[in-house]
Structure 1
Amino acid sequence: MKELMREAVQLFEEVMFQGAEHVIEAMDGDVWHDYSREQLQLLKLLEQFGPIQAGQLAQKQGVHKSAVSNRLKKLVDKELVVSRRGHDQRERLIELTEAGHRIVEEADAAVYRYVESLLDGNIEETEIEQFVRTFRKIKQLLRIGEE
């Protein structure tokens, strides 16, 4: 069992890191050429968790606040995000604009098209169902999205 678990962890790491790079490199569509991967990830986080403070975004991206500030400035300039006051007058919350939501939808659609073309005819529906069940359990164990 330990050997099987070791292989599962190794495969998970390979797919997470190398698979993500492979998918991103293969992306087509203007959105993947007009914005950096980090900017798109930031928009995706805002869609999921926004409105949110810049410091919390930095924590979720695993980077220093200055890196997020730089990305946010570019996204504000492109009118994809806005900064507004929170309940506390000192608090600044970042949120997506309508244009930002459209970019996230465009990026999601490009990823979906690519992954669908990659899997179509190569993986059986029952395998996809098992994949979904397994990743739902992993998501639950990691408590992703519960914040």
Structure 2
Amino acid sequence: MDQRIKEAVDLFTDVMVYGTEKVIKSVDHPLWKEYSPEQMQMLKLISKEERITSSRLAVLQSVHKSAISSRIKKLLQKELIRIAETEDKRTKVLEITDAGREVLQQSDKALTDYFEKLLSEQIEDQEIEQFLIIFRKLKEILKMDGV
């Protein structure tokens, strides 16, 4: 294996794990105190997929379906998501509500503001462009159109 690929995987994993922890601790916004990172991620996934089953959410969040159930219950109680009408009554499909979109929009703004400050102080514009080019290619390679 090319050592650069191994290093890229290691760096990506480190950024995802430790970066997520740092962001969660650093972003000071009331929403991030009210909702767990897992709930926010779930809301984002439901928004991107538009309509999604709990089984698909469990796969995307890499957890057992029982963990998904409690997150769904909390988001339903806060009316951030709803159970969509479907022809097959046995399958529950979830979709985001307007209130959920608003929460997501506020969260995205807080994240964008945080990263804008972080990046503008430490990363050059051309490096940001390179990052975007690489991640667009990676997304295309992985065919992550819905995610």
Is this a same-fold pair by TM over 0.5?
yes
2:144 counterpart letter in structure 1? I
Q: Structure 1's 41 and 8: CA in aligned 2 closer, same or farther, altered over 3 A?
A: same
8 Å contact kept, 1:79–1:100: yes
Equivalent-residue separation in structure 2 for 1:66 and 1:15 (angstroms): 28
Task: Report the RMSD for the aligned CA atoms in angstroms.
Answer: 1.6
Equivalent-residue separation in structure 1 for 2:62 and 2:43 (angstroms): 15
Q: In structure 2, what is the equivalent of residue 69 of structure 1? A: 69
Encode CA deviations 1:101-145: one digit per residue, 9 max, x unaligned: 001111111110111110113211111100000011111222213
Q: In structure 2, what is the equivalent of residue 9 of structure 1? A: 9
Q: In structure 2, what is the equivalent of residue 129 of structure 1? A: 129
Q: In structure 2, what is the equivalent of residue 39 of structure 1? A: 39
The runs of at least 4 consecutive aligned structure 1 residues that moved more than 4 Å come to none
Encode CA deviations 1:79-119: one digit per residue, 9 max, x unaligned: 11111331222222111111000011111111101111101
Q: In structure 1, what is the equivalent of residue 143 of structure 2? A: 143
Are 1:84 and 2:75 an aligned pair?
A: no
Secondary structure at 2:88's aligned position in 1? coil
Aligned-residue sequence identity (percent) comes to 43
Secondary structure at 1:120's aligned position in 2? helix
2:127 counterpart letter in structure 1? E
Are 1:59 and 2:70 an aligned pair?
A: no
For structure 1, list consecutive stretches of 5 or more residues without a partner in the other structure. Answer: none
TM superposition shift of 1:54: 1.2
For structure 2, list consecutive stretches of 5 or more residues without a partner in the other structure. Answer: none
2:79 counterpart letter in structure 1? E
2:57 counterpart letter in structure 1? L
8 Å contact kept, 1:85–1:91: no
Equivalent-residue separation in structure 2 for 1:87 and 1:61 (angstroms): 26
TM-score for both structures, normalised by structure 2: 0.92
